[in-house]
Amino acid sequence: MSTKTKVTIHDIAEKLNITASTVSRALNDNPRISDATKKAVLKAAKQLNYQPNNIAAALRHGKSYIIGVIVPTADRFFFASVVRGIEEIANNLNYKVIICQSYDNYEKEVQTIEALLNARVDGIIASIGKNTENFDHFKKVQSKGIPLVLFDRTTDELEVSQVMIDDYLGAYKTVEHLIQQDCRRIAHFTSPKKVSVFKERLRGYMDALRDYEIPYDEQLVIKSDLQLEDGRESMKKLLKLKQSPDAVFSASDYAAMGAMQVLKERGIQIPQEVALAGFSNEPFTSFTDPPLTTVDQRSIKMGNITAELFFEHFKDGEKGIVSQKTVLKPELIIRKSTLRK
């Protein structure tokens, strides 16, 4: 019941006693082709079960209509949502999205870029891996004139369009909120990595303390990889201090979750004894007990904007566009883990 041999436009042409070029034009709705021929071609295409070969087309006009998206991992709600936001826009413009994961692994990230270049994607959208400190692979993309846009995890070492949220503001507002809840010894979980988002969150934390005249205590800033287990360890460290904190602002929901576990295991009341806030608004943060205060990163919106910015690079051709930076306002989601009054 199935034609094993691939059917091409030549087969259609032969059947109709016309040439392949006419078929091609008919399929692409070229105005120079008569409606009669178009209909005949369409009909024959159905009959023969014709499947266009995008590879041949891509080779011919140097466009693949595929854009590569690189995320550290697709199973974090935030990244998955951004991808969704990108897809919405891209699909509307008839572009396909291929999702690649770097798993926060530098080598894998480099390889992925290489693979995407070989696959001749029309552009790349990426969020940089946590461990990446050398950006030559991204520079290579740019040097080839391939559109590149970064989101969330970006870097200043590249002249590139980027979309991010105002991590500084998100952190500032969170800490401000904690202060308004009468917290005075506020700890912070951050990452030692070069990624700017964490640096910005730290800056927001420090500035909020300063503005409210709360002394900065280095002991209260714990650096780790910010996974759940790291959050547990960090919390344990804090509890060993002579003077325990009365709040923890974690740059990651997962680490905040780890801290919550430790606090609950030790019977420490949240938020009465220690208030707790995270960052990212992962879905599980609303399930926890108590529900976790966190910062929403406008992920879908970020995906939309990133894709739109990306496609502007096409329209305006290779030149003309300067790299531009879009900063979204985050939203503080206040839940019971910080509500002390």
158 touches its own copies (CB under 8 A): no
**248 binds, options DNA, its own copies, none, Cβ within 5 to 8 A by partner type:** none
Tell me how far apart the alpha carbons of residues 89 and 95 are, in angstroms, rounded to a whole number: 9
51 touches its own copies (CB under 8 A): yes
Q: Please, what is the minimum distance in Å from the beta carbon of residue 57 to its own copies?
A: 9
Give the CA count within 13 Å in the CB-facing half-sphere of 114.
7
Containing H/E element for 127?
none
173 touches DNA (CB under 7 A): no
Return the amino acid letter for 332: L
Q: Please, what is the minimum distance in Å from the beta carbon of residue 45 to its own copies?
A: 13
Binding-site member from 39, 43, 47, 52 for DNA (CB under 7 A): 52
36 touches DNA (CB under 7 A): yes
Q: Strands of 325-328's sheet, edge to edge?
A: 96-101, 66-71, 123-126, 148-151, 161-165, 325-328
Q: Please, what is the minimum distance in Å from the beta carbon of residue 43 to DNA?
A: 14
**22 binds, options DNA, its own copies, none, Cβ within 5 to 8 A by partner type:** DNA
Binding-site member from 2, 4, 29, 62 for DNA (CB under 7 A): 62
**33 binds, options its own copies, DNA, none, Cβ within 5 to 8 A by partner type:** DNA
- x/- contact string, 129-148, with its own copies (CB under 8 A)? --------------xxx---
Tell me how far apart the alpha carbons of residues 275 and 295 are, in angstroms, rounded to a whole number: 15
Q: Which of 126, 61, 62 is nearest to 98 (CA)?
A: 126
In degrees and rounded to multiples of 5, residue 58 shows phi and psi of -60, -40
Provide the β-strand partners of residue 320: none
Return the amino acid letter for 5: T
144 touches DNA (CB under 7 A): no
Separation in Å, CA 206 to CA 52, 196, 211, 221, 322: 58, 15, 9, 10, 32
Taken in order 43, 49, 50, 51, the sign of the CA dihedral is positive
**144 binds, options its own copies, DNA, none, Cβ within 5 to 8 A by partner type:** its own copies
Tell me how far apart the alpha carbons of residues 83 and 303 are, in angstroms, rounded to a whole number: 6
- The Cα angle at residue 255 between residues 249 and 259, in degrees rounded to 5: 75
Q: Please, what is the minimum distance in Å from the beta carbon of residue 26 to DNA?
A: 7
Query: Which residue's CB is nearer to its own copies, number 61 or number 240?
Result: 61
52 touches its own copies (CB under 8 A): yes
Q: Please, what is the minimum distance in Å from the beta carbon of residue 223 to its own copies?
A: 23
Tell me how far apart the alpha carbons of residues 251 and 286 are, in angstroms, rounded to a whole number: 17
Question: Among 1-9, 246-254, 308-316, 326-334, which window interacts with DNA (CB under 7 A)?
Answer: 1-9
Question: Among 51-59, 124-132, 163-171, 204-212, which window interacts with its own copies (CB under 8 A)?
Answer: 51-59
**Cα end-to-end distance, the chain, whole Å:** 72
Distance of CA 254 to the CA centre of its chain: 17
3-class DSSP state of 73: coil
Tell me how far apart the alpha carbons of residues 117 and 106 are, in angstroms, rounded to a whole number: 17
Binding-site member from 4, 29, 32, 143 for DNA (CB under 7 A): 32
17 touches its own copies (CB under 8 A): no
**47 binds, options DNA, its own copies, none, Cβ within 5 to 8 A by partner type:** none
Which residues of the chain form contacts with DNA (CB under 7 A)?
6, 8-10, 17-22, 24-25, 27-28, 31-34, 36-37, 50-53, 56-57, 59-62
Which residues of the chain form contacts with its own copies (CB under 8 A)?
1-2, 4, 6, 49, 51-56, 58-59, 62, 64, 66, 73-77, 80-81, 83-84, 87, 96-101, 115, 117-120, 143-145, 228, 257, 260-261, 264, 283-284, 287-289, 318
